[in-house]
Structure 1
Amino acid sequence: MTFESDKPREFTLSSSQKMIGGVCGGVAEYFGWDVNIVRLATVAATVVTGGTVALIYLAALMLIPRR
């Protein structure tokens, strides 16, 4: 496995793929996934966990830096 650089990628909120805060967009950009899949997984996980994932989303919104 080769990497483009030795510098680690920065994890930030997305400024182009945001609906609410850009957390799902940031995750999708970081891992190279489709943002709609991440959003659907977040909604499904929120329903399954009874809202715990929504609290994690809010914490990530406050803690992850913006670009």
Structure 2
Amino acid sequence: MNEYSEHNVKKLRRTNKGRMIAGVCSGIGEYVGIDPNLIRVGLAIATLFGGAGVGLYAIGWLLLPDEERDTSIVQDLISKQQQRNATDWTGEHKPQQ
């Protein structure tokens, strides 16, 4: 058996446990092994001094998949766009609507 089986790999996900808004801080905290409140305080400080905390949280919300899903919000949007632009069975592009 491979020592790096799928069950041993930690995945960075937004979690439901400890979630306050979207689960970004709780997911990061679980992944790195620290209290999510420390991450929340760090984002609050970053928000107060330049506003970067809100942007970082939004990026995490868009890029980190929820723990029940395999894809993030951005990956879902990209795949929907690719399906919309996909070719039909004749090999021709579908007209844009």
Q: Unmatched 5+ residue regions in structure 2?
A: 68-97
Summarize deviations over 1:9-63 as a string: whole Å, max 9, x none. 1100011111111110011000110111111111111112x21221121121011
Partners of 2:55 and 2:62 lie apart in 1 by 11
Provide runs of 4+ in structure 1 moved above 3 Å.
none
Q: Please state if 1:20 is matched with 2:10.
A: no
Instruction: Give aligned pairs, total.
Output: 62
Structure-1-length-normalised TM-score: 0.79
- Larger relative contact order (C-alpha < 8 A, sep ≥ 6)? 1
Structure-2-length-normalised TM-score: 0.57
Q: Unmatched 5+ residue regions in structure 1?
A: none
Choose 1 or 2 for highest CA Rg. 2
2:4 aligns with one of 6, 9, 16 = 6
CA RMSD of aligned residues (A): 1.4
